[in-house]
Amino acid sequence: MKKECIAMLLAGGQGSRLQALTKNIAKPAVPFGGKYHMIDFALSNCVNSGIDTVGVLTQYQPLSLHTYLGSGQPWDLDRTDGGIHILPPFVGADNSGCWYQGTANAIYQNIAFMDRYHPDYVLVLSGDHIYKMDYTRMLLQHRQTQADCTIAALEVPPQDASRFGILSTAPDHQIISFEEKPEHPKGNLASMGIYLFNREVLRQHLIADQQDSSSKHDFGHDVIPRMLKSGVKLSAYHFNGYWRDVGTIPSFWDANMDILSPRSEIARIDSNWPVYTRSPNLPPHYIGSEGRVSHSIVTGGCHIDGTVENSVLFHSVRVEPGAKVKYSILMPGAVVRSHAVVSYSIVAEGAVVGTGAQVGSLPDGSDSWGITIVPEKATVKDARFLAANTPELEKEGVLV
Amino acid sequence: MNQLHGILFADRAEPEMCILTRSGNTSALSFGGNFRMVDFMLSNMVNAGISDVGMIVQGGCQELLNHVGSGKAWNLSRKRGGLEVLPPLGCRPYVGWMDALSDFLPYLHHIRQEYVVLAPGDCVINFPIDDMLKAHKAGGSDITLACRSQEGHDNEEESLEIYLLSTSLLIQLTERCIGRQPSFRQNFLDESNSVSIKSYRFGGFSGTVRTAEAYYERSMALLQSEARKDLFDPDRPVRTVDSFMPGAYYGPEASVERSLISDHCWIEGTVSDSVLLPGVTVESGASVSHCVITQGTVVRQNTHLDHVIMIGNAAIRQPEVSPAKV
């Protein structure tokens, strides 16, 4: 069964900078935007772009992610030919196979999967980016430029450029230089970590990279620079839409707040480009007599009797009378008891903020200020005050 | 193997309901958020452990069939058994349940289970069919009929039209009724010298929705938290087809109180004592009070709605009544 293009979706990372949010689940499984999980965006982009064969490479704490993905049915990827394939690390005969050692090594170990479908093109994606993209346009440019590899790129604020792989290009989109996380960036055109390869070129370079013991087996750090050096034709596909790599708590919080903007691409359904998700069947949410909700997103099963402003509420959240929630993210099943105040915080799944407790603090411009996280299933004691740098916060399920 | 087989009557169409659902099919009505009426009884059957369900439909049921599909959302898409849609053999509407069943005698003969539950597809209720089966087996009657118990009216029972009986008895009764096109209720239940009937009382939230008034009243009743607790019991979940709608958005000036708001609503105006189905927009300066607004309706700026069911541009006026009883 031949496919023109298949996708390899990297979903194995821990996302350790998301701290307590990824203690028990892989980063792509982290809830986002009130209704979604991070991986929904890449999966939906694939199916909307006509890519019906997606390998999802998992490794870190995969149980929630595997359960969530199931047979791929919510994303229309439950297919008899192709569809979603979950690809965890594995062992083979003669001690072959091992834990994935880097993004390139993960794909290298799954060359056999790719070969099953004899694709002309392989699209390498990340499972933790928030964006909507039609990959067929990238493929069109890839063909037109006769590139061996096309990298999707977008302009980032110059002050952020050092966090990315920075590209410079010729007028015909050909990539002239590529520097991974440069201290002094030459420009601000950043790699999005979305790569489209001709399969043979990818295979050759994965094998060569595997044989290089000094390599970290990372696309951005090793494979792409080697390709550029060896004369592989690399092309940049300029992307103009909304894109976020939500790898840190501040960027995660920012991206959730972004969907509160009426102009957000993510907030409204676009029938031409839906974002599919698996979500529980729940009744509509209820706003009580004393409930006050403004500039927020609220989802099914919530019961609001307090004040909610500038916040994102996932399903089954309870906000009791007198409670105030501002500039915060409340994950599924979170409870904010009477007269508690939650601001600039993330309350993780099933966590409880006790009566009269105060969680989070207003930004004060200092380096020590941060978004406060109440970990999964933790309980904040009544009347307790909690801010981002309180040490006990890292303990889950414990009265803090 | 489970002892109980389900037969769901989703064939009823009411002309008055055509404004709410194209075919007027009461089982296809959207209700209580992202749900359709048929979801409740299908979920009741599945929650009772039923894995084989026959669904009786009439012509013009495309909307219902598109929603139910293979029954996968209720785990009824099976290799063996599962959901079977029983489309009409002729063109005329069924006169009653017996009329419908007599078209499907071969189906009845193939039922593998010892007992059958017959239920309507337009009743909103979270009903313990498994408990009713226990009561039926212990009760010793030929048929058990679920009834709504009324507070303070011990002798008055309103039928919920949920019947439980043995498969063999159902086949006998159906064979006896062929050609006579009777109503299950009128023709042989009233001839109760031939079969014994016991009632199974149910006091939770329930409602059969066949008129606009009932639709409004039962929707409003969901504003009571006891009603929602009852109907949306997480231990006996109401399942429906997955949707991929984002959450509801509240603008900076939104004001909502004592209301149920579904996903994908966009609220910039004022809403009180109302039920909004998915995808409703309430623009800035608009106000909605004591209304049921159906999916996708846009309430434009400076529109003021009070005591109506709003369907797109059409409004069905509702009388002002005291708060609905659960």
SS (H, E, C) A32-92: ECCCEECHHHHHHHHHHCCCCEEEEECCCCCHHHHHHHCCCHHHCCCCCCCEEEEECCCCC
A195 — pLDDT class (breaks 50, 70, 90): very high
Nearest by Cα to B246 from B34, B55, B36, B44: B34
Average pLDDT over residues A323-339: 97
Q: Identify the pLDDT of residue B15.
A: 87
Structure tokens, A397: 């399920």
Please tell me which of the candidates B222, B232, B257 has its beta carbon nearest to residue A287: B257
Radius of gyration of chain A (CA): 22
Q: Identify the pLDDT of residue A36.
A: 94
Q: Identify the pLDDT of residue B190.
A: 55
Residue with tokens 């043995």: B166
Cα(B8)–Cα(B42) distance, rounded to whole angstroms? Answer: 8
Q: Does A271 touch chain B (CB under 8 A)?
A: no
The one-letter code for the residue type at B170 is L
Sheet holding B255-257, edge to edge: B255-257, B270-272, B287-289, B304-306
Please tell me which of the candidates B244, B247, B255 has its beta carbon nearest to residue A298: B247
pLDDT > 60? residue A120: yes
Nearest CA in chain B to A306: B257
Average pLDDT over residues A13-28: 84
B125 — pLDDT class (breaks 50, 70, 90): very high
A55-109 confidence digits (pLDDT tens)? 999 998 888 899 999 999 999 999 999 999 999 998 888 877 888 888 999 999 9
pLDDT > 70? residue B196: yes
A348-391 confidence digits (pLDDT tens)? 999 999 999 999 999 988 888 899 999 889 999 888 888 876 65
Q: Output B156 or A48, whichever has higher pLDDT.
A: A48
A26 — pLDDT class (breaks 50, 70, 90): confident
Name which of A71, A257, A266, A298 to mutate to probe chain B: the one with the most chain B Cβ atoms within 10 A of its Cβ.
Answer: A298
pLDDT > 50? residue A292: yes
How far does Cα B230 stand from its chain's mean position?
Answer: 15
Report yes or no: B264 and A269 within 8 Å, Cβ to Cβ. Answer: yes
Cβ pair A300:B33 closer than 8 A? yes
Cα(A222)–Cα(A122) distance, rounded to whole angstroms? Answer: 18
B134 to chain A, closest Cα gap in Å: 28
ipTM for the predicted complex comes to 0.92
Q: Identify the pLDDT of residue A398.
A: 58
Cα(B292)–Cα(B275) distance, rounded to whole angstroms? Answer: 5
Average pLDDT over residues A124-134: 95
Cβ pair A297:B262 closer than 8 A? no
- CA torsion sign for B170, B176, B178, B179 is negative
Out of A201-205, A261-265, B49-53, pick the least confident.
A261-265
pLDDT > 80? residue B322: no
Nearest by Cα to A371 from A25, A17, A14, A29: A17
Please tell me which of the candidates A289, A292, A299 has its beta carbon nearest to residue B263: A299
Cβ pair B257:A74 closer than 8 A? no
B154 — pLDDT class (breaks 50, 70, 90): low
Nearest by Cα to A137 from A57, A45, A250, A275: A45
Q: How many CA atoms lie within 13 A of B251 on its CB side?
A: 17
Q: Does A282 touch chain B (CB under 8 A)?
A: yes
pLDDT > 90? residue A263: no
Structure tokens, A259: 């969907």
Out of A136-150, A178-192, B258-272, pick the least confident.
A178-192
In B142-274, DSSP assigns E strands to: 143-150, 153-166, 197-202, 206-208, 248-250, 255-257, 259-261, 266-267, 270-272
Name which of B39, B75, B242 to mutate to probe chain A: the one with the most chain A Cβ atoms within 10 A of its Cβ.
Answer: B242
The one-letter code for the residue type at B198 is K
Sheet holding A335-336, edge to edge: A379-380, A352-353, A335-336, A318-319, A303-304, A285-287, B259-261, B275-276, B292-293, B308-311, B314-317
Average pLDDT over residues A205-234: 93
| B43 burial type by CB count under 10 A (0-12 exposed, 13-18 middle, 19+ buried) | buried
Cβ pair B248:A299 closer than 8 A? yes
Q: Does A70 touch chain B (CB under 8 A)?
A: no
Output the CA torsion B8→B9→B14→B20 (10° steps).
Answer: 20
Nearest by Cα to B129 from B59, B40, B57, B209: B40
Q: Identify the pLDDT of residue A25.
A: 86
Structure tokens, B218: 């039962």
Residue burial A180-208, b: 16+ Cβ < 10 Å; e: rest:
eeeeebebbbbbbbbbbbbbebbbebbee
Cβ pair B257:A285 closer than 8 A? no
Q: Identify the pLDDT of residue A265.
A: 79
A42 to chain B, closest Cα gap in Å: 15
**Taking all residues of chain B, what is their mean pLDDT, rounded to a whole number?**
90
A295 to chain B, closest Cα gap in Å: 4
Structure tokens, A94: 């003669």
Question: Phi, psi at residue B107, to the nearest 5°?
Answer: -60, -45
Instruction: Quickly count helices (H) and strands (E) in chain B.
Output: 8, 24
Q: Does B297 touch chain A (CB under 8 A)?
A: no
Q: Identify the pLDDT of residue B151.
A: 64
How large a percentage of chain B has pLDDT more than 90? 71
pLDDT > 50? residue A141: yes
Report yes or no: B285 and B271 within 8 Å, Cβ to Cβ. Answer: no
pLDDT > 80? residue B150: no
- CA torsion sign for A145, A151, A157, A160 is negative
Average pLDDT over residues B274-278: 96
3 state SS of B171: helix
pLDDT > 80? residue B193: no
B79-96 confidence digits (pLDDT tens)? 999 999 999 888 888 888
Structure tokens, A219: 């696309």
pLDDT > 70? residue B182: no
Average pLDDT over residues A311-331: 98
Cα(A265)–Cα(A275) distance, rounded to whole angstroms? Answer: 11
Q: Identify the pLDDT of residue B96.
A: 83
A342 to chain B, closest Cα gap in Å: 19
User: What residues of A are in contact with residue B261 (Cβ under 8 Å)?
Assistant: 284-287, 298
Cα(B134)–Cα(A387) distance, rounded to whole angstroms? Answer: 54
Average pLDDT over residues B195-200: 91
**Taking all residues of chain A, what is their mean pLDDT, rounded to a whole number?**
92
Size of interface A-B (CB pairs under 8 A): 118
Q: Identify the pLDDT of residue A386.
A: 85
The one-letter code for the residue type at A217 is H
Q: Does B198 touch chain A (CB under 8 A)?
A: no
Q: Does B323 touch chain A (CB under 8 A)?
A: no
Q: Does B232 touch chain A (CB under 8 A)?
A: yes
